[in-house]
Amino acid sequence: MSKIPTYKTIFRLAIPAIFGGIVEPILSLTDIAVVGNIPSNNPNLTITSLAAVGLAGSLISALLWIFAQVKSAISALVSKAVGANNINSVATLIPQMILFNLGLGILAFLLTYFSSSWIFTSLLSASNAVAEQAVAYYDIRAFGFPITLITFSLFGVFRGLQNTYWAMIISIVGGCLNILLDFILVLGLGDFCEPMGIEGAAIASLIAQIVMFLLAIFFLLRSKVKLLFSNRINQQFKVMVHMAVHLMVRTITLNIALVLTHKFANKYGEIEAATHTVLLNIWLFSAFFLDGFATAANALSGKYLGQQNPTALKETLKKNMLLAFLVALLLIVIFLLFHVEIIGVLAEDSRVTHLYKDVLFLFILCLPLNALAFTLDGVFKGLGEAKFLRNLLVISTLFGFLPVLFIADYFSVGLQVIWLALIVWIFLRGLIPLIYFKTYLKRKFD
């Protein structure tokens, strides 16, 4: 076994993670593309539907990101057990983690299902027309919270086992099924299925989530971990929950920032809201693409921490960061060459395709900054440094994102305000952990 990560090892983890990771944003982009192209004689109705799907989809993503942080916690613990050659230590932890996520999913459902109308109208400042359609979409998707959280947590188990292939297979199957059902249920299929519009998009996603859950359970039963059910709480359960809580606070902060971008976009107008929806989903698509190397860094960092190997940790960061930057540059080239076609696929409205050009440069500038921030996120998640990651997000948001957003909005209005704040936010999220990494190694191993 190599004592330091090779590029082959990184690619073995990152490539499946990339293909698996981009499925979620592809689903959102597909919903947007299909809904944004529903035949209608009223362009404003299409814009309303597009804004509604984007808004509801962002809320769903926010909630899943918040409550799915057990995935990163269990991944760190399993990968550390693999590195220490003590995989049996998590045999009872995994079933207990599944039950914990089931409870979290039910909680997320109860907290939002009965208040979704208030969330969209009062909290997110959506117009009545947008809010009505957003509620119709969200109230169907919300039923999938419990099984989706369990699925994501099992992805964390697979990652800890140094296996990102299974998660890729599950995601691709679910993604392809979702896309197929989107076209059938949203647009209709002759006499077989009447067009269901925005509600059809939600049903398609829910069915795909159920299939992904069943596949995740199937692969878990085939894993090398011998699962044990015990009434005695695993000694690492408390550690897992503490890590997850820190990461939940971090993710709540992260999503407050993203929700604020939608709130300000809604304030600027429906065209601005629709344009921001399209751009932010493309940005998230690229982010998940880059996150493949963060996943590799996550899995390897936990393993090398278990092996007490600081040299390998340094190489893990250096090599994953280099690869992430190269991918970011490739994405920039692709978007510069085909941005007109990409935007056109997602929204036919000429007002959207005209407005996005005002923030094109700021959008592109985010990509290399994402590469830096996400790779370091992956490393520190693998090291189990959840408290540091929590503090990082709070500091970057309070002293970077929010001041820029409100000050720039005071002097000007428009999507440039939002994307300038996002750039400062991502920059701090990359710079601070880069500086701290050397301090961490000295404190841990000297």
Q: Give the C-alpha distances (Å, rounded to integers) separating 41 from 44, 76, 274, 433.
A: 9, 52, 18, 51
For residue 378, what are its two tokens? Answer: 């992956």
How far apart CA 130 and CA 89 sit, in angstroms, is 49
Could you tell me the two tokens for 7? Answer: 């590029």
Report the pLDDT value the prediction gives residue 45, as an integer from 0 to 100. 56
pLDDT one-digit tens code per residue, 56-95: 887 887 788 788 889 999 999 999 999 888 888 899 999 9
Question: 189 in helix, strand or coil?
Answer: strand
Look up tokens 């007490």; give the residue: 308
What pLDDT, in 10s, does the model give residues 223-249? Answer: 888 888 888 999 999 999 999 999 999
Residue 283 φ then ψ, to 5°? -60, -45
Packed helices 43-67 and 270-306: angle between N→C axes, nearest 10 degrees: 20
Name which of 2, 4, 1 is nearest 301 in CA terms: 4
CB-based contact 31:205 (threshold 8 Å): yes
Of the candidate ranges 239-253, 282-296, 359-373, 394-408, the one whose mean pLDDT is the lowest: 282-296
- Measured in whole angstroms, the distance separating CA 237 from the mean position of its chain's CA atoms is 24
Inter-residue contact 388 to 436 (CB < 8 Å):
yes
pTM score of the predicted model: 0.81
Quick one: which H or E segment has residue 224? none
Tokens of 281: 């989903």
